[in-house]
Amino acid sequence: MTLPQRLEQIKSELPDGVRLVVVSKFHPIEEIQNVYDLGVRDFGENIVQELLPKYEALPKDIRWHFIGGLQRNKVRQIIPFVSLIHSVDSVRLYEEIIKRAASIPRSVDILFQVHIAEETTKSGFAVAEAKETILELCSRTEDAPFRVVRGLMGMATNTEDSTLVGKEFATLNQLFETIKSSLPQPQADRFNILSMGMSQDWQIAVREGSNLVRIGSLIMGQRTPSHRN
Ligand SMILES: *Cc1c(COP(=O)(O)O)cnc(C)c1O
Indicate if the pLDDT at residue 228 is higher than 50: no
Which residue, judged by its Cα, is nearest atom 15 of ligand 1?
A: 68
Q: CA 215: distance to chain centroid? A: 11
Instruction: Tell me what pLDDT residue 229 has.
Output: 45
- Percent share of the chain, pLDDT over 70: 97
Question: Where does the pLDDT of residue 122 fall: very low under 50, low under 70, confident under 90, or very high at 90 and above?
Answer: confident
Name the amino acid, one letter, at 44. Answer: G
Per-residue pLDDT reduced to its tens digit, 40-52: 999 999 999 999 9
Q: Ligand 1: does its nearest atom lie under 6 Å from the Cβ of 46?
A: yes
Q: Find, among 184, 132, 122, the residue nearest to 153 by Cα.
A: 122
Report how far ligand 1's centroid is from the alpha carbon of 213 (Å).
Answer: 9
Question: Where does the pLDDT of residue 215 fall: very low under 50, low under 70, confident under 90, or very high at 90 and above?
Answer: very high
For residues 4-24, average pLDDT: 98
Distance CA 28, CA 205 (A): 28
Report how far ligand 1's centroid is from the alpha carbon of 170 (Å).
Answer: 19
Residue 125's SS3 state is strand
Q: Ligand 1: does its nearest atom lie under 6 Å from the Cβ of 229?
A: yes
Report how far ligand 1's centroid is from the alpha carbon of 183 (Å).
Answer: 29
Q: Which atom of ligand 1 is nearest to the CA of 217?
A: 8
Report how far ligand 1's centroid is from the alpha carbon of 106 (Å).
Answer: 28
| 199: Cβ contacts below 8 Å, ≥ 6 apart | 215, 216, 217, 218
For residues 95-109, average pLDDT: 98
Q: Ligand 1: does its nearest atom lie under 6 Å from the Cβ of 197?
A: no
Instruction: Tell me what pLDDT residue 225 has.
Output: 54
